[in-house]
Structure 1
Amino acid sequence: MGPIAATLLCYFEPQKVYAALVRLHDTYNMHAIFSPGFPGLLQAIYVQERIMESKMPDVYSAFKKHMISTTSYATKWYITLFANSVPFQTQLRLWDAYLLEGQDLFVAMAVAIVWVYHHITSSSANFETILSLLSSFFVPENDNALLSWIEQMLGDKKLRSQIAQWRQDWVQLVASGQDGDALL
């Protein structure tokens, strides 16, 4: 949580940062991301993959074909809340939206980045090209357009219902010991 604390320290006294981190941990379920085994991280990645599979099947198939694990590029996005992956102003706007939307916001952001590059990743790109592209620093052309796209995605009631179901499915996969083969 170092990058998260560092960002908050730019604006608040250390005592308030501590209180904010506790609040993120308790109220916004951040503890699930950082708990041993990273259960919240794996759940977010599972949900991201289900969205990609349903909304971008060509990209999902290309990732499967090239054996590109979502954990290989998205882990740093989730554990830093995009702190080291997007410009600072974009990061702050994402965090504001996170406080409003909750944990689905960061899944939507991950899907948005993949969507931006979907023409490259679903065509003739190879493993190295795709992984390099998704691991690089992402600078959106327009923050407003990015956040509008995310808002539209999260405003889709059917998709939000599916996301909730996929989160439950992940919990069941973990409980039954079948989570090992559930991710790309």
Structure 2
Amino acid sequence: MHGMLIPGLPKLLALCDFHSTLRKRFMPKLHRHMDSQYVAAPDYTTAWFVKLFLDALPFQLVLRIWDLMLFRGEGTLMALSLVLLKINSRAILRLKEDGIRLHLQALYRQHYNEDDTILEVQGMLGEMVKARLRLPQPVRLQKIAELTQNAKERTADILQQNGTETLSIHVDFSAHDSSPDPELSTYV
């Protein structure tokens, strides 16, 4: 999950793109329909991946998914996103653009058999392995520094366009701990 919320959102964007690739491969009819209705993967997967499905599914099922994710890794997110589309494919194929989005935002209202859903996710993980599909590469520290620099440059460009010369950001760690988390201070 490293790199999900750093400047530029590289991990999140890579996961959304990968979901789109998986959707096209495993559910071509659904993929064509969603594309024809201008429903791109980031429209619904962004909230799913950032919140780890917390507000997308019933809480008990989310806890079981998190257990599986800790055991099997990030691929669980991809497999679950496909399983949710599979479970809801009949309804999605009948809906139009905004209806699809609203339906995918209201998945938590549905009843899910937890055991069956977990088995479906495990089955999809197996299909992904058989197809030799690999998750996007992890974001390396070197890449983080590059992305941070790019974000600073974009911010400077925006400030210059708005006629502002400087932007000052101060982070005070003294209120929390005398020794700040070195990973956190890398991003500041």
What is the TM-score with the length of structure 2 in the denominator? 0.67
Where 1:34 maps in the other structure, the secondary structure is coil
Question: Quick check: which one's helix share is greater?
Answer: 1
Deviations for 1:157-183, whole angstroms, at most 9, x for unmatched residues?
A: 323x2234xx36xxxxxxxxxxxxxxx
Whichever of the two has the greater Rg, that structure is 2
Q: Distance in 1 between matches of 2:123 and 2:92?
A: 23
Please name the residue that 2:97 is paired with: 127
Q: Distance in 1 between matches of 2:91 and 2:134?
A: 26
Q: Distance in 1 between matches of 2:73 and 2:115?
A: 19
List alignment gaps of at least 5 residues for structure 1.
1-29, 169-184
- The sequence identity of aligned pairs, in percent, is 24
| Matched residues, number | 137
Where 2:83 maps in the other structure, the secondary structure is helix
Shift of residue 68, structure 1, vs aligned partner: 0.7
Where 1:33 maps in the other structure, the secondary structure is coil
Shift of residue 137, structure 1, vs aligned partner: 3.5
Q: Where in structure 2 are the equivalents of 1:63-78 lying within 5 Å? A: 63-78=34-49
Any runs of at least 4 consecutive aligned residues in structure 1 with deviations exceeding 4 A, and if so which?
none
Letter in 2 for 1:45: C
List alignment gaps of at least 5 residues for structure 2.
138-188
Please name the residue that 1:12 is paired with: none
Q: Distance in 1 between matches of 2:133 and 2:107?
A: 29
Please name the residue that 2:69 is paired with: 98
Deviations for 1:13-50, whole angstroms, at most 9, x for unmatched residues?
A: xxxxxxxxxxxxxxxxx221111121111111111111
Q: Where in structure 2 are the equivalents of 1:8-157 lying within 5 Å? A: 30-122=1-93, 124-138=94-108, 139-156=110-127, 157=129
Please name the residue that 1:13 is paired with: none
Q: Kindly indicate whether the alpha-carbon contact (under 8 Å) linking 1:63 and 1:69 is maintained by their aligned counterparts in 2.
A: yes
Shift of residue 65, structure 1, vs aligned partner: 0.5
Q: Distance in 2 between matches of 1:32 and 1:140?
A: 33
Q: Kindly indicate whether the alpha-carbon contact (under 8 Å) linking 2:83 and 2:124 is maintained by their aligned counterparts in 1.
A: no
Q: Distance in 1 between matches of 2:102 and 2:25?
A: 24
Q: Kindly indicate whether the alpha-carbon contact (under 8 Å) linking 1:47 and 1:163 is maintained by their aligned counterparts in 2.
A: no
Shift of residue 72, structure 1, vs aligned partner: 1.4
Shift of residue 120, structure 1, vs aligned partner: 2.1
Q: Kindly indicate whether the alpha-carbon contact (under 8 Å) linking 1:33 and 1:79 is maintained by their aligned counterparts in 2.
A: yes
Q: Considering only aligned residues, what root-mean-square deviation do their CA atoms show, in Å?
A: 2.0
Q: Distance in 2 between matches of 1:130 and 1:55?
A: 19
Shift of residue 107, structure 1, vs aligned partner: 1.1
Letter in 1 for 2:95: A
What is the TM-score with the length of structure 1 in the denominator? 0.69
Deviations for 1:70-108, whole angstroms, at most 9, x for unmatched residues?
A: 111111110011111111111110110000111110111
